[in-house]
Amino acid sequence: MKTLVIDVGGTHIKFAVTGEAGSRQLASGPGMSAVGMVSQVLAATRDWQYEVVSIGYPGPVRHGQPIREPWNLAEGWVGFDYEQRFGRPVRIVNDAAMQALGSYVEGRMLFLGLGTGLGSTLIVDGTLVPLELGHLPYRGGRSYEDCLGVHGLKRLGPKKWSRAVRDVVERFRAALQPDYIVLGGGNAARLRRIPDGARIGDNNDAFRGGFRLWESSAQSAHVLGAQHQPFPGRVRSSTAARRAALAIRT
């Protein structure tokens, strides 16, 4: 099965398809609507063949549909008929959840996406649990997302922002007790020092997660709060990734 994977972000929309080398991208931003996204992606993929579509959405998703408009894009994403416009089956998950699924190895993993905002997902023995930790209050009247997202990076500067990331990682580790933590998103590479017990995710994790949304598995897991969307339970991973995760845990 050939899958088109679309990772919707606040500054870019990136997409890849099964069997094609590399990925492509479009600029997004406050003027990008769901209609505009689908139209531009369809135009940019005329030479690609695919049967199904995976979308990583920058906001909460329930029962496979966005339930809140993205704060950094135009409106019109909630209630939009993605399958009708693409003309193919579509599966939608939160963008951090899609990246987390692509980086998952085994056990209990916490994923934090350091991008325009702060994405968060927990995977426990193959069960993927999308979170919204970024909107919780942190300090000084600001949320975790205010401090760790792109606005926090600009306000604090790289050095103080890196310290804030390490502090938040320790807080979430104590609260959620993960075996290991993966830091993804476009700003993860800007960390001055990687927090103890964490590793930086691969740039292709979001695409890998989107492909996995359509993989069949005898032992399937599920997304809490979602319906009719089977997910692989024990995701096969590379030996290198497995060793990296186990090294972090020990």
Helix (H) or strand (E) holding 97: helix 95-103
Residues 250, 248: Cα–Cα separation, whole Å: 6
Q: What is the pLDDT of residues 178-194, one digit of tens each?
A: 999 999 988 999 998 99
Write down the pTM of the prediction: 0.82
Higher pLDDT, 247 or 144: 144
Confidence of residue 223 (pLDDT cuts 50, 70, 90): very low
Residues 3, 174: Cα–Cα separation, whole Å: 37
At the topology level of CATH, where does 106-203+238-249 sit? Answer: Nucleotidyltransferase; domain 5 (3.30.420)
So what's the pLDDT on residue 245?
47
Sign of CA dihedral 76, 122, 17, 2: negative
State yes or no: pLDDT of 233 exceeds 50: no
- Mean pLDDT along residues 40-59: 96
The helix/strand/coil state of 80 is coil
State yes or no: pLDDT of 1 exceeds 90: no
State yes or no: pLDDT of 220 exceeds 80: no
- Mean pLDDT along residues 73-78: 96
Q: What is the pLDDT of residues 79-108, one digit of tens each?
A: 999 999 999 999 999 999 999 999 999 999
Q: Please list the residues that pair with 16 across neighbouring strands.
A: 5
Q: Where are the domains of the chain?
A: 106-203+238-249
State yes or no: pLDDT of 237 exceeds 90: no
Tell me if 115 sits within 8 A of 9, measured CB to CB: yes
So what's the pLDDT on residue 216?
53
So what's the pLDDT on residue 116?
84
What is the 8-class DSSP label of residue 227? -
CA count, 13 A, side-chain hemisphere, 209: 31
